[in-house]
Amino acid sequence: MENQLRVLHLVSNSRWTGVGEPAASLATHQQADGWTVWIACIWGRSMEERLRELKLPLAEELKIPRRINPLATLADVGDLKRFIKQHRVQVVHCHQLHEHWLAALAVKSLGKSDRPLLVRTVHRHEPMRRDPWHHWLFAKATDLLIAVSKEQTNLIRQAYPRARAGVETIYGGVNPDKYHDDADGGREIRLELGAEPDAVVGGIVAHLGYNRGHRWLLQAAPEALLQAPKGVVWIVGKGEMKKELRQASREPQYDGRLAMAGYRSHDLVQTYAAMDFAMLLGLGSEGSARAALEAMACGKPVIAVDKGALRDSITHGVDGFLVEEGDVKALSKCLTDLLTSPEKCKTMGAAARKKILNGFTEARRHELTSHAYHQALLK
């Protein structure tokens, strides 16, 4: 087909986390559409293992570790130049800053006939650097910039108002065939975690890190649980706060209804199904807030921090609630509202599922990215 392209994805991840999954998902959809695709990562750990499981073509001759040695970095740039020329790559799509620099240096030194489109997705929600070096990288060396939220798009445009690259907002996506309401599996999880059949369960699924809002939840939960005698709160995940959160869950103010649900890597869909609603109270390294999209695809409303991509995916009061970061009283009120009304959870959850189907799927992300590539190539 005329619209099929030859795309190289670069992801300087060693572990299957953060931007690794959305980059691999995009590459998988491109390959399924008949495109010629390669992907390179930092080899030897879980990222490579997962890419092999997905049967994605690996550019194994490329090395993109974060090196301190300038000579080694120049060698990496040279390898990348050779790969682009040998395989007639039309698009180099970078997903993090390190490989963005490598690709920009490689592409700049290629002749016009060999030069591919240089694309960067800014996955993380963060302000942009404004020094001359990063201004060159983003505003002059790059052909297409993609952000996963309107807020991040605005941050890019504010930092680089005269950038020659276009800036496109393309939301994150999930597979709604994978993430759905598995009622049978949900019942098993509730039984495992000791939730009564009539309990109303709200769960936070996130890395147990200091920036993910768990302490905020600990402050807001006691009042909500007092108002909702059938309410239960689950903390799902692993991380450096595990011990602190486990100790806190035993405190009498939570009335035995704040439970550590562990790390649910193989039964995550069933865990979402077991909940009545979900929470995401802090953004991690993947700015599309994928955990919220997963929960919504499973038919669960989400209480979320009013920030970044969550403003794009959640309509306050319709398919979830947006709460100003750190506002304990507001979070407690939203928790109470859902913990006391399983019917409201179902109504809002149905709206959440519908929203995912209409605009936040992996297929939709591929469609919009493909269009953005072709528009940039025409310039």
**250-266 pLDDT, tens per residue?**
999 999 999 999 999 89
70-87 vs 97-108: helix axis angle to the nearest 10? 60
> Could you list the mean pLDDT of each consecutive 10-residue stretch along the chain, which spans 379 residues?
85 91 97 97 96 97 88 94 97 97 96 95 94 96 97 96 91 96 89 94 96 97 97 97 96 95 93 97 88 97 97 98 98 98 98 97 97 94
Instruction: Determine the residue type at 343.
Output: E
Segment holding 357, helix H or strand E: helix 342-359
DSSP-assigned states of every residue in 292-308: HHHHHHTT--EEEES-T
pLDDT of residue 26: 98
The mean of the pLDDT values for the chain is: 95
pLDDT of residue 1: 38
What are φ and ψ of residue 231, in 5° steps? -80, 145
**313-348 pLDDT, tens per residue?**
999 999 999 999 999 999 999 999 999 999 999 999
Instruction: Determine the residue type at 137.
Output: L
299: left (phi over 0), alpha (psi -120 to 50) or beta: left
pLDDT of residue 67: 81
pTM value? 0.93
Strand segments, DSSP code E, in the chain are 6-10, 36-40, 91-94, 117-122, 144-147, 166-169, 200-205, 231-236, 258-262, 277-280, 302-305, 320-323
pLDDT of residue 69: 85
